[in-house]
Structure 1
Amino acid sequence: MIHILLIFSIWMIGACFGSFFMVIGLRFPIGHSIIHPRSTCSNCFHYLGTLELIPFFSYVIQKGHCRHCHTKFSFLYPFTEALTGLLFVLVFFRFINQPKEILLLFFLIAFGIIFFISDLYYFLLPDSLMLLFFSSTIIVRLWFHPLPLYYYFISGISFFLLFYAFYCFTSQGIGGGDVKLFGILGLFFGFELTLFILFIACLSSLVFGLGLFALKKISKHTPFPFAPFIFLASFIVALYGENFQVIFYSLF
């Protein structure tokens, strides 16, 4: 019972953070304050009360609709909250004896969810947030680096230059924000793990895109956000990267 309560508590804390991260992802890219005004219904502009702002559960209780005008809320709200909670739980129990790793990955979750929302809604990864992510990652690496520090910096520079060249010599397929993002992830993870991230991100986005194309939900000219797949891959590698390395070295 205590174990279940611990899981629920960590999930709920993560869901609360996920709700806040979503506010940042929705408001910051368009220059709105992340504090004021309070959350409202986008249709009737009713200020949402405390009971309407409980992560995930308010959406379920209200059946996904505003209590006043009955406008349907986006499913992305409870999805983001539940996902953030799940990531908090997975990270906590995966690295329960490694508090530094837990803090590092909570930090990655924060930026990952914010950029996920920003790219999904606006196809934009704001430079100011990217700069904050970059400077924070430098501090993280100065504080904690299981491999030689220069390894991470060389990795970050290499991935940035690689994707910058790709960005300069191709007319489509990747945005400037993705170039910076891969440079930062190279600094965060190191060369080998970032290669796994690149592979998983490309594969998952290809499969998802082909699925939507087959269902005629998108055309070949439809813009497609890549950051959500980059961070999906980042979380998978953060949790199970060591397993990928073992499999890779056993094969080669």
Structure 2
Amino acid sequence: MDIYAYIIVITAGLLFGSFTNVIIARMPAGESIVSPPSRCPRCREQLRAVDLVPVFSYLFLRGHCRHCQGKISPRYPLVEALCALLFIGVYLRWGLSTVTAAGWVFAVILLAAAFIDIDHGIIPNRLTYPAIVMGLVLSFRTLAFLPALYGTLAFGGLMLAVAFISNGGMGGGDVKLAAVIGAFTGLTGSAVTLLLASFSGAIFGLIIMTVEKTGRKTPVKFGPFLAASAYTAFLFADAIASWYLGFL
């Protein structure tokens, strides 16, 4: 991979990571993600362009607001750096293609969904509904429309059935995120996502129960596991499915 391509991809990832932070901060509150301009959450002073350089502004300001010296959450540079890493992963897998562009959109959606679920225990309709549409539209240039539609209906429908049977054990946001994942990854990607998310979520739940001495009904937010597994499936679904079927 050319060094200049690395720089371009990392820069794009950092910038979109900054935008992802806006989604995470504003969407659960029902606020616009395009206006007003970014402000300090404490003193409400509008931030200048020099204060909004992804990661570097945080380091330069030592994690504090220029105006009120209030502490800035390390979550901001973390999300920006994660987004850059996700962008690199997609580019390394798919090169310069429409699949890569779709993967970058998908990465932003998954990253926002995961952190909103961690913070608020929800995955907003304002995120998932447009994401389903974007996945289906982009499918015309990626996996094709019908496979995307089948993935949306199958994975979303399966998770809806699980939510109904579990009587609230799974939230509606997870159901709609599953539909998004189906639109971007199709049936194979959905199956791989479910396998990986179920396994990783179960392991995490066991660790929490062991460490905190809690019972089997300890709630575990499933959105982050779906998001991480879906990203993995977007890159390697076919290889993982082939390995798994061969293992069986």
TM-score bracket for this pair, using the shorter chain length: 0.7 to 0.9
Check if 1:233 corresponds to 2:217: no
The C-alpha deviation readout for 1:147-198, integer Å capped at 9, x for no partner, is xx54443333222222212111213431011112213322332222211111
Distance 1:218 1:63 in 2: 38
Alignment of 1:50-199 (within 5 A): 50-96=49-95, 99-145=97-143, 150-199=146-195
CA shift for structure 1 position 3: 3.2
Q: Which amino acid aligns with 2:132?
A: F
- Residue 7 (structure 1) shift: 1.3
Separation of aligned partners in 1, 2:34 and 2:182: 32
Query: 1:217 deviation in Å?
Result: 11
User: How much has 1:101 moved relative to structure 2?
Assistant: 1.4
SS in 1 for 2:2: helix
Instruction: Describe the shift of the 1:47–1:187 C-alpha distance in structure 2 as closer, same or farther (beyond 3 A).
Output: closer
Q: Mean alpha-carbon deviation: is it higher for 131-140 or for 43-52?
A: 43-52
Q: Is residue 7 of structure 2 the alignment partner of residue 8 of structure 1?
A: yes
Cα 1:193–1:62 shift into 2, 3 Å: same
Matching residue of 2:38: 39
CA distance in 1, matches of 2:51, 2:217: 39
Partners of 1:12 and 1:28 lie apart in 2 by 24
TM-score by length of 1: 0.85
For residue 128 of structure 2, what is the amino acid of its counterpart? M
Letter in 2 for 1:182: A
Unaligned runs of 5+ in 1: none
Q: Across the two proteins, how many residue pairs are aligned to each other?
A: 248
TM superposition score normalised by structure 2: 0.87
Contact preservation (8 Å) 1:123, 1:225: yes
Name the counterpart of 2:246. Answer: 250
Aligned pair 1:204/2:200, yes or no? yes
Q: Distance in 1 between matches of 2:54 and 2:215?
A: 34
1:225: how far off? 2.9
Give unmatched runs, 5+ long, in structure 2: none
